[in-house]
Structure 1
Amino acid sequence: MSRWDDVYIGLCKKILEEGHEVENRTGVNTIKIPSFHFSLDVGKEFPILTTKQLFIRQAVLEMLWIYQAQSNDVRWLQERNVHIWDKWMINENGDWLDENTGRVLKHFDPKYVHTIGTAYGYIVRKYHLIDKLIDSLRNDPEDRRRVVSLWQDCELDNAVLPSCVWSSEWDVTDGKLNVLVHQRSCDVPLGLPFNVTQYAVLLCMLAQVCGYEPGTLDWSIKDAHIYVNQVDGIKEQIRRYDENGSLPAPKLWLNPEIKDFYDFDSGTKLSDVRLEGYEHMGKISFALTQ
């Protein structure tokens, strides 16, 4: 059975049972708890939810957009039929608009048109974050300074949405690559399932190209929340779990011929990545709040 489903459903129950309803910048209230922490052994079990369907192609392509393409251009995703950032794209006038009212939420320098501004992949490219990480993993296994930070104060004013998953710390222990991920704000129904699977894939990719085995994925959340318009969907997912448990975790297959992180296919077919034996209980639709 899937340990990730066990952890995830436990978090959802905790939020619904112990959380506080609060207002936030979006205008849609959330039910939140202040923090949550968990650990998964990716070397033993690949984490992807089975109590609902998760579309791994979209999840992995978003991760590669950030760390391989190192792009902030939303069109890169749209060309691959991935639309999770459409609501945050700066338009031709340099404006980020409220999707419901058309009101200008923020105006940007026109050079940032079609992008999300100075966030995520922009920061990875500007500060050479993935290249420094790979160089350290290959040449200095005992390095204790492998902090990859997507939170750069000087870039925040020109970002549409400052990075939610904002930092990761990497170490090698006993031949295994491990990562600790920090998330400042967590949309549990929509964001967290994508994020955990994404970083598990990134962990496995980096382990493969740097000569290690996949190890642990530790996760630290500040402000774990469920939007009030997502509660019914989460209750359905909890019902599935309570009645049926979880299904067996699938296996992640990466093309073993790939020895360079930049060689993993990031095209529409994502041919170097696939899941084997992925069983799930079907799709659940959740509102995406801008």
Structure 2
Amino acid sequence: MAKWDDIYCSLCETILTTGTRVHNRTGIDTIKIPSTHFQLDVGQEFPILTTKQLFIRQAVLEMLWIYQAQSNDVRWLQERNVHIWDEWEIDENGDWKDVKTGKVLRHFDPSMAHTIGTAYGYVVKKYGLIDRLIQSLQETPEDRRRVVSLWQDAEMETAVLPSCVWSSEWDITDGKLNVWVHQRSCDVPLGLPFNVTQYAVLMKMLAQVCHLEVGTLDWSIKDAHIYVNQIEGIQEQLSRWHENGSYEAPTLWLNPKVEDFYQFDNSKELKDIRLEGYRHMGKISMPIAQ
């Protein structure tokens, strides 16, 4: 059975049974708990949910958009048939609008059209975050200062959505690459499954190009929540878990010939990565809150 499914479904159950209902900026209430933490041994099990289908192509391409392409341009994703950021795209007039009502939520300089402003990949590129991380992993394995922060105060005012997964800390212990990821706010039904799988893939890619083994992924969340219009979908997933448990975790294959992080294929086909033996219990549709 997949340990990640057990951790994830237990978290969802905890939120629904002990959480507090609160209002938030989206206008859709959430059930939340103030914090949580879990650890996964990615060297032993690749974390991707089996109690519902996760579309790894979209998840990996979003991660590569941020850390490899270092882009904030939503069209990069759209060209690859990934539409998870469409609702945060600034239009040609510099407006970020409510997709349902057309109301202008914020106005930006029109030069930021088709982007999400100064967030995510923009920050990675401006501050050279991934290059410094790779250099440190390759040249100074004992380094204790590998903090990759997507939360830069200078960029907050011109970001459509400040980074939710906002920082990661990396270390090498006994030849294994480990990371601790911090998330300031977490849409548990939709965001968390994507995010955990993304960082597990990033770990394995960096470990490969830096000639390291893969170790543990620690994950801490401040404000772990479920939107009230997602409860039905989560209850369906929990029902599957209680009745059937989970399937065995699949194996992630990376092209062993790739020795440079920037050489992993980021085309629509994602040629250098695939899941082997992925069994899941099917898709569960849940709404996203803009």
Counterpart for residue 100 of structure 1: 100
The letter of the residue matching 1:54 is L
TM-score with structure 2 length normalisation?
Answer: 1.00
TM superposition shift of 1:111: 1.1
Residue 75 of structure 1 corresponds to 75
> What is the Cα deviation at residue 99 of structure 1?
1.1
SS at match of 1:155: helix
Q: Which amino acid aligns with 1:262?
A: Y
The residue that corresponds to 1:243 in the other structure is 243
Q: What secondary structure does 1:231 align onto?
A: helix
Amino acid at match of 1:41: D
Listed one character per residue, the Cα deviations across residues 211-243 of structure 1 (whole Å, up to 9, x for unaligned) are 101100000000000000000000000000000
Alpha-carbon separation, structure 1, partners of 2:102 and 2:64: 31
Aligned to 1:146: 146
SS at match of 2:62: helix
| Secondary structure at the counterpart of residue 214 of structure 1 | strand
Q: Which residue of 2 aligns with 1:182?
A: 182
Q: String of CA shifts for 1:97-140, please: whole Å, max 9, x gaps.
A: 01111111100011110000000000000000000000000000
Q: For residue 280 of structure 1, what is the aligned residue in structure 2?
A: 280
Tell me which amino acid in the other structure corresponds to 1:53. Answer: Q
Instruction: Write the distance in 1 (CA, Å) between the matches of 2:101 and 2:286.
Output: 21
Distance in 1 (alpha carbons) for counterparts of 2:94 and 2:137: 39
Alpha-carbon separation, structure 2, partners of 1:203 and 1:37: 18
**Equivalent position of 1:231 in the other structure:** 231
Matched to 2:11, the amino acid is: L
C-alpha deviation, 1:189, in angstroms:
0.3
TM superposition outliers: structure 1 runs of 4+ over 4 Å: none
Equivalent residue letter for 2:92: E
* CA deviation after TM superposition for structure 1 residue 22, in Å: 0.3
Q: Deviations over 1:178-227 (max 9, x none)?
A: 00000000000000000000000000000000010110000000000000
2-structure distance, mates of 1:156, 1:102 = 24
- Equivalence for 2:170: 170
In the TM superposition, residue 271 of structure 1 has moved relative to its aligned partner by 0.4
Alignment partner of 1:93: what SS?
coil
Q: Look up the SS of the partner of 2:119 in the other structure.
A: coil
Q: Distance between the aligned counterparts of 2:276 and 2:102, measured in 1?
A: 43
Give the secondary-structure state (helix, strand or coil) at the position aligned to 2:13. helix
Identical amino acids, percent of aligned pairs = 75
Cα RMSD after superposing both structures: 0.3
Instruction: Show the counterpart of 1:20.
Output: 20
Measure the CA separation in 2 of the matches of 1:110 and 1:202: 33
Q: Distance in 2 between matches of 1:132 and 1:182?
A: 19
Residues 9-43 of structure 1, C-alpha deviations (whole Å, 9 max, x = no match): 00000000000000000000000000010000000
Distance in 1, Cα, partners of 2:223 & 2:128 = 29
Q: Unaligned regions of 5+ residues in structure 1, if any?
A: none
Distance in structure 1 (CA, Å) of the matches to 2:252 and 2:170: 21
Structure 1 Cα separation of the partners of residues 223 and 208 of structure 2: 33
